[in-house]
Amino acid sequence: MKTIEIPQPKGAAASFLGILLASRKPLTALATLTEVTLVRPQLSLDAAHIARYAQVCGFHAAQGVPLSYPQLLAFPLLMAFLGSSDCPWPALGTVHLANRIVQHQPLGAGDSLRIEVQTGRLLAHEKGQIFELELRLLRADELVWEAMQTLLRIGVKQPAGPAYASRLNADLPLSHQADFMAPGNIGRRYGQVSGDFNPIHLSTLSARLFGFRRAIAHGLWTQARALAALLPRAPLAQAELTVEFKTPLLLPARATLWSTRQIKGSLEQAALFEVRNAKGDRPHLRGLLAYQ
């Protein structure tokens, strides 16, 4: 396993330049992915940045550090990997297919953390090759938060690995819980907080260059917006989230939140949910949330 320390990641402009320069890689199927871990040895959680993220995603201050917030901390390391020679395929044309988060302990502003991103498995998909990236946050060498991002590199022929299978097969009836707006500028606003300035999220003009009629919302913003409505107004002790991204949310739009809640034991609560279009007949994402 190769380990690369990145004490101070590149800025967004330099990261995207690296990805553009790596865009000519061939779409060759691989049997294994290079084993590499990218590490940011120390980062302190910034209260002002947490507040900005909470505001743009709709979280309440009483909810503490949002369950999905740490993904922003790992984003510069993800970009570094996607623009490196260790990533075998171009990042452009790669789709975020699914996301899984496990919070083991609550986080707080001022926490000193070690951030890690590690390559994982390869899976086969009808549209290309799937690769997994594991994200970890450690506080005083103790794992406090982890995630798995499932990414689809479209266009790879004869992909290796076991076939991808959904984790969310429960076919339960969901009821309409809430509506929320995804304004036309939410891609730019979320990009300013997250550092993700992918052109497909920024404007109609830039999105059309990549085949979209209009800009689309970041999938992680849509995920966070749903979490803000589903979670209680109190910090979480432990939580698990699985999300699968379905169809793009074109901006601007009115989205609808659908869910059904369950109670597992005396403490754990769970919700199967979907973010759908305004009519409620097309899902943009589907998820399962459990927390204590």
Given pLDDT bands bounded at 50, 70 and 90, which one contains residue 263? Answer: low
Q: First-to-last CA distance in the chain? A: 35
The two tokens of residue 177 are 């819980």
What residues pair up with 114 in beta bridges, in sequence order? Answer: 138
Given pLDDT bands bounded at 50, 70 and 90, which one contains residue 172? Answer: confident
The DSSP letter of residue 267 is T
Tens digit of pLDDT for each residue in 201-244?
Answer: 999 999 999 899 999 999 999 999 999 999 999 999 999 999 99
- Is 54 within 8 Å of 121 (Cβ atoms)? no
Helix axis angle, 70-82 relative to 186-194, nearest 10°? 80
The two tokens of residue 283 are 């899902």
Q: Provide φ and ψ at 91, rounded to 5°.
A: -70, -35
Give the per-residue pLDDT at 93.
Answer: 86
Percent of the chain residues topping a pLDDT of 70? 97
User: Is 60 exceeded by the pLDDT of residue 266?
Assistant: no
Strand 283-291, strand 239-245: pairing: antiparallel
Q: Give the span between the Cα atoms of 44 and 110, in whole angstroms.
A: 5
User: Is 70 exceeded by the pLDDT of residue 57?
Assistant: yes
* Mean pLDDT over each residue of the chain, to the nearest integer: 93
Within the chain, residue ranges assigned H as helices are 12-21, 47-57, 70-82, 186-194, 204-208, 219-230
For the chain, domains (ranges, CATH) are 2-291 (3.10.129.10)
- Is 207 within 8 Å of 218 (Cβ atoms)? no
Give the per-residue pLDDT at 37.
Answer: 98
Q: Give the span between the Cα atoms of 36 and 132, in whole angstroms.
A: 12
The two tokens of residue 37 are 């871990």
